[in-house]
Amino acid sequence: MLKKIIQIVKGGGKVASPKLSKALKRVEVPVDTHGVNRDLIDPRAIETVETLQDAGFETYIVGGAVRDLLLGLHPKDFDIATSATPEEVKRLFRRAFIIGRRFRIVHVIFGGGRNHEVFEVSTFRANVDAADATQVKGSEKSKSKLEGLTHAVDSSGRVLRDNVWGDIASDAARRDFTVNAMYYDPSSEVLVDYHGGMADAKKRIIRMIGEPAERYREDPVRIIRAVRFSAKLAQLGFKLEPKTLEPIPKLKQLLSDVPPSRMFDEMLKLVQTGHSLASIQTLKGLGLERGIYPLLDVIVERADTPMVKRMLADTDERVKAGKPVAPSYLLACVLWQDVIDGWTARREGKKPFAKIPTFSALAQSVDAVFDERIGDVSGRGKLGADMREIWMMQPRFEKRVGGSPHTLVAHLRFRAGFDFLRLRGQCGAEFGEANAAEIAELADWWQDFQDADHQERLAMIEEVKRQPKAPSATGVKSAKPRRTRKPKSSQSHGDGLSSAGV
């Protein structure tokens, strides 16, 4: 038996753990007992499941979607688990892509553009004991140490690779919480439960499968997931089971070994799932307000400031309303304190900086904030570019003569930049922006300008040219009046999303 496990660990393939299969009891719950409404399931998720089933593979909707269906909620995402390997899944769909190294999964894509749907399909995994896994010393970034391995752990027990295929029983055993370890077959409408997830859902309990401390060591990110699920389900009366809760404060230091890019993604999930304010309160309640991830520490620290609190509340409302959100706007608000401090110091020549022009001062401040607060993480490219545009657009709002207003209102990120300007007018005084009232008036002007037709816009620009020069609201010298040029376009080409939705 040991020889067989070693072969599976090093060579890949499928295995069902006899020990686990005997220990677990498969409970099949009929529809008249679980009461799941099949109409709440995305038809394309059902199509994905049935395509795999028709090809002879055991396949279910799994995880949080089943939990939400059981509670009568409409799931946002539908994850799918199957006995098919990633390569077998990929062959069955026109648009399917195998992703990931640590956990190899398949993204099955329907539709295109902004209306496309992605369904995550994972292969049943074996619950290989950590003692039977290959222990890798040193950094996970050393890819050569992981080559050829399908299951590997580091010295603390954290799983580095987990691509040993198994059966549904072993797959259920390796999931995190009982309420997330149920399987639903939309064809037969049977719900499969191995760990009492249905009973825990009725009792409103969030319980870890297995020994909690060991499971947190396997994957420290489960600490963040526990916080997220606790905050998300708190409004439905769910609470963390005491044994699941107890090890969390003691093991938070394990998160320092998680790659920064993964922690960055988990941080965004925490504040973009519609329960950011509740998640932050949960972190504080568990004594996790500091020391988990530097940028998350900043968000928690500033969550009670007017600007960040308003942004988090707006983000929660947008998520609940089914509207899109984007991390660029969220982080632009959180880090504005750092940007404006550096911008002011460089613009005014405060030590240790020499006085430089306002646009250069802002650009240098933005660069410094990226280096200090965000660092080198995956996704920084597009996310950083969007944040930079939001910040660098602020001085441009002061230029309201000539063709500048027409060009700016047609900018792809105008709406995000404008919403940020408006938020500065509402909350800027907290950052020491003494001219917050002038910024608010400037935001009102731009609101009228974007709502106006072409002739009204021209009249507004002429009115600005006739006004005496006033102190700059953004720190930029007022632009000199110029002859009005015919704009290339008087319509915004932005995506029309407000606030965090850009």
Give the type of residue at 472.
Answer: S
HSE of 472, CA atoms in CB hemisphere, 13 A: 15
Catalytic residue among 42, 176, 200, 386: 176
The DSSP element (H or E) to which 79 belongs, if any, is strand 79-82
- Residues with Cβ < 8 Å from 39, sequence gap 6 or more? none
Q: Going by C-beta distance under 8 Å and a sequence separation of 6 or more, which residues neighbour residue 114?
A: none
> Choosing from 42, 68, 79, 316, which is the catalytic residue?
79
Q: Is 472 exposed, middle or buried (0-12, 13-18, 19+ CB in 10 A)?
A: middle
For the question of residue 79 being annotated catalytic, the response is: yes
Tokens standing for residue 5: 């496990």
Tell me the C-alpha distance between 483 and 466, whole Å. 13
Is 39 annotated as catalytic? Answer: no
Residues 133, 123: Cα–Cα separation, whole Å? 19
Helix ranges, 370-484 (H): 380-392, 404-409, 414-427, 436-451, 454-466
Say if CB 195 and CB 30 are below 8 A apart: no
DSSP notation for 319-370:
HHTT----HHHHHHHHTHHHHHHHHHHHHHT-TTSPP--HHHHHHHHHHHHI
- Whether residue 204 contacts residue 236, with contact meaning beta carbons closer than 8 Å, is answered with yes
Tokens 């007017």 correspond to 306
Tell me if residue 98 falls in helix, strand or coil: strand
Tracing tokens 């496309």 back to the chain, one arrives at 116
Phi-psi region of 349 (alpha: psi -120 to 50; beta: other; left: phi over 0): left
417 closest CA partner among 437, 387, 449, 451: 387
242, 280 contact by CB (below 8 A): no
Q: Are 373 and 335 in contact (CB under 8 A)?
A: yes
> Taking the CA of residue 305 as centre, how many other CA atoms within 13 Å lie in the half-sphere pointing to its CB?
21
181 close to 175: Cβ distance less than 8 angstroms: yes
By the 8 A CB rule, do 75 and 56 touch? no
Contact 20, 127 (CB under 8 A): yes
Whether 265 sits among the annotated catalytic residues: the reply is no
CB contact at 8 A, 478 and 401: no
**Residues carrying an active site annotation:** 77, 79, 176
